[in-house]
Amino acid sequence: MKTLSNKAFDAVTQLFHNVSGIRLNESKHALVTGRLQRLATEAGETDLESYVDKLLRGGAPAQEMTRLVDRLTTNETYFFREPQHFNDLADRLDALAPGQDFKVWSAASSSGEEAYSVAMLMSDRLGPGTGPAPWQIVGTDLSTAMVESARRGLYPTDRARLVPPAYLKRFCLKGQGEQTGQVLMSRELRSRVRFEAGNLMQPLPDDLPMFDVIFLRNVLIYFDNDAKAGIVRRVLGRLKPDGVLYTGHAESLSNLNLPVRAVGTAVHGHA
């Protein structure tokens, strides 16, 4: 496979940085080359450099930029990842007064497993959410391909192995026919979770409500400190005064000079 020249690598990663805020360093050269090569082939372009050239000169169709962002983001996720947060959430749900409304945001929701895990827990603890205790979950992600995949709520069966058996039985429908080997999130869950495209580097949409809990996990690691601090400040603007923010256990908010206080491990509240 032809390797991307250093100049082209720098230009493409700069373009990606302008859109996503994520800096891909030289250690990702081979990965970026592979992903671009695949994009070029799919676009019917045999020569990698000329595909990149078109992209950089704005000569490629607009949706090619979306495809580039989709391919260069890291979307790894799984159901009930970092279970301590789900235990913490369960305690908060159990402490709610009857009929109290509750909103959760999965910021950087990738293919939706995090938001659906929350939905299973909330449906279990609060009921279906259509009655006296309304609840709502919003998932947002930069990658439109991930947003579409999350809306479908269809996963290979082995991806659901970390779903507790009782939840699997109750909320995950076994695919049949064309969907054999996959599980589909129940209609009830899909109706309670809304997925939208959203870039955490930009001002947040006006219609995003205030949340009781925000999951901002395994995404801050991709940003430098300035971008990280900017994202957290923006996100905190949508956290209710007594709400909590969950970050990935490998992601620290210390040294960023943010108006937060730790209320648990990787659990933060307003300062």
Residues marked as catalytic: 35, 141
Tell me whether residue 37 or residue 199 sits nearer to ligand SAM (CB atom). Answer: 199
Write the burial class of residue 156 (CB in 10 Å: 0-12 exposed, 13-18 middle, 19+ buried): exposed
CB of 52 to ligand SAM, least distance (A): 21
Where on the chain is the footprint of ligand SAM (CB under 6 A)?
20-22, 73-77, 81, 108, 110, 114, 141-143, 146, 198-201, 217-219, 248
CB of 50 to ligand SAM, least distance (A): 27
How buried is 102 (Cβ within 10 angstroms: 0-12 exposed, 13-18 middle, 19+ buried)? Answer: buried
The beta strand positions in the chain, using DSSP E, are 102-107, 135-141, 154-156, 172-174, 182-185, 193-197, 211-216, 239-247, 260-264, 267-270
Residue with Cβ nearer ligand SAM (133 or 167) = 167
Closer Cβ to ligand SAM, 48 or 163, answer by number: 163
Residue nearest to ligand SAM (CB): 77
Q: Closer CB to ligand SAM, residue 71 or residue 192?
A: 71
Burial 26-46 (b: 16+ CB within 10 A, else e): eeeeeebbebbbebbeeeebe
Cβ at position 107, least distance to ligand SAM in Å: 7
